[in-house]
Structure 1
């Protein structure tokens, strides 16, 4: 369902420089040309900041790449940053807990809030330039979300007024034009447009986003940590500093530890067996702690405890998952050339 762009005064395209953002930008550009829309089109990139060691939370080079994509079509390009600090500062100094699917403050605070601030600025500019005083400025706010990535995204409307952020001065309509696209259709759009993807895709990443996004697949997390060991080291430090597990099903200790074992294995180092045993011990201790907590809850509810052998099964399963992902990462980038933070 394509909107009539002339029903809107200006368009904002959100871009992380990832594949969905690229396809979104190219698609909107095609529609702008087809419909002869002459209003302002602005591409927004949100800078999420750096870690304590100065390493970008996002893949290096994404801002420049998003700018390149915008300039390809002559669109205005804007970068926004949270005034009170980037994702790392917010994590360590304010939230003190990692993000999760149920607590996506990274999106709400670092992206959405900054985007709405830009909209406020653009509306004021447009109102002054166009002399509009009798009606709200109509903003079409485009995001490159796709239903394949989650059930929640699949349920979102392709076109809907954002009542929460609209006002008497502006009407914001959220637009998700590629919601129903497959990943194949995304890459086909990019190829047809001739846009340059980020090098991380050629290294084996399936998504861009933050390099170590808590919502990423285990495969992507291990590969990103292998390609960016300095960033992984900072995240490991943060996990220990916070005393809060990176993800319920996967810790930074497991990611870094698994990659260490896989690297030793690849080099034929006999210490690999010892390192693997140590990693298994770490995993077992966590599994045991989790089972003890669950058994305490079950006892309080008058239920029998889980059997002790369940700890062994879960330890083996977790170790297998960790090492499968770690060995895959090391095999995809055996020389780890991209670790130099190149874009």
Structure 2
């Protein structure tokens, strides 16, 4: 009888092993790390798992994302013995931001043997020239859709090694993060599913959807996985360094800790003619904030986060693990 994951109120190890591959959306944030560690704790073999990370800036210099993120997710993948695949929209955030009467850029992704495949780039022409807005609507908060969600969909639909297989896509979304995420389904058919034609069977699962933040940090502590440097600097969440959800304190920290990055963001915002926030520009918002103490006192962490210093080990003995400064902060802005 064909396996029907929807019949399982809880996807336990027996149910999960019916999938050929389990793909973990791996941003490097605490929740994606927790989701991966949870799968390992319940006994999913490493050979069934693979991590997928989307390069927000494309395969080039880092401008909007944290420069250390590529090294961090790669190091965690190597440390736990799970392969990682990178994918990106050509030109990344900057190309999409300044798109003028042009189609969205093609997507490139890594596949077996280190080979790269490029797909798309022939869609209808349109103009962007505005930052994403803080909203749950992906058409307006376009960074999440264009640079992450749509990219993975393209990988699932076009990577030859994933066709004709039974796949499970796992992410670390949690209900506690926002009202919108609280309404996400824990288990559902994935958008890229094509089971009726037999091309691929894809489900999506959010195994830590009901977890509180404390449970997330606890599983990292049990395994000794050091948090992303952004958390160590005091950021309450790890996404892009110039994320539109950055609150006033985070923007002030960006201005103090990474002045060229902040100036570039403020300049780009002014050039679009529209503020990222509905009321104030980033300079005004930063002026209302207070820099995180670690930004003022830890130049070593600033250098690591900026990619100017080597990343220390990402796994330490659990007895040496420390809760990062950004933990349990009531962020002034969070995921929609």
- Do structure 1's residue 27 and structure 2's residue 35 form an aligned pair? no
Deviates more, 1:139-148 or 1:38-47: 38-47
Aligned pair partner of 2:165 in 133, 137, 146: 137
- Do structure 1's residue 89 and structure 2's residue 122 form an aligned pair? no
- Do structure 1's residue 171 and structure 2's residue 201 form an aligned pair? yes
Structure-2 separation of matches of 1:61 and 1:80: 17
Calculate the TM-score normalised by the size of structure 2: 0.71
Partner of 1:301: none
Structure-2 separation of matches of 1:151 and 1:173: 23
Instruction: State which structure, 1 or 2, has the greater radius of gyration over its C-alpha atoms.
Output: 1
How many residues are matched?
A: 260
Structure-2 separation of matches of 1:196 and 1:38: 20
Point out 4+ residue stretches in structure 1 off by more than 6 angstroms. Answer: none
- Deviation of residue 179 (structure 1)? 1.1
Secondary structure of 2:296's partner?
A: coil
Partner of 2:315: none
Residues 161 and 330 of structure 1, relative CA distance in 2, 3 Å threshold: closer
Unaligned runs of 5+ in 2: 1-9, 100-126, 312-336
Partner of 1:201: 231
Secondary structure of 1:139's partner?
A: strand
- Do structure 1's residue 106 and structure 2's residue 143 form an aligned pair? yes
Alpha-carbon contact 1:55-1:231 (below 8 Å) kept: no
Aligned pair partner of 1:43 in 38, 47, 51: 51
- Do structure 1's residue 188 and structure 2's residue 218 form an aligned pair? yes
Structure-1 separation of matches of 2:243 and 2:274: 15
Alpha-carbon contact 1:57-1:210 (below 8 Å) kept: yes
- Do structure 1's residue 58 and structure 2's residue 91 form an aligned pair? no
Alpha-carbon contact 2:46-2:82 (below 8 Å) kept: no
Alpha-carbon contact 1:225-1:255 (below 8 Å) kept: no
Alpha-carbon contact 1:160-1:175 (below 8 Å) kept: yes
Calculate the TM-score normalised by the size of structure 1: 0.69
Note the aligned Cα RMSD (angstroms).
2.4
- Do structure 1's residue 250 and structure 2's residue 280 form an aligned pair? yes
Residues 177 and 58 of structure 1, relative CA distance in 2, 3 Å threshold: same
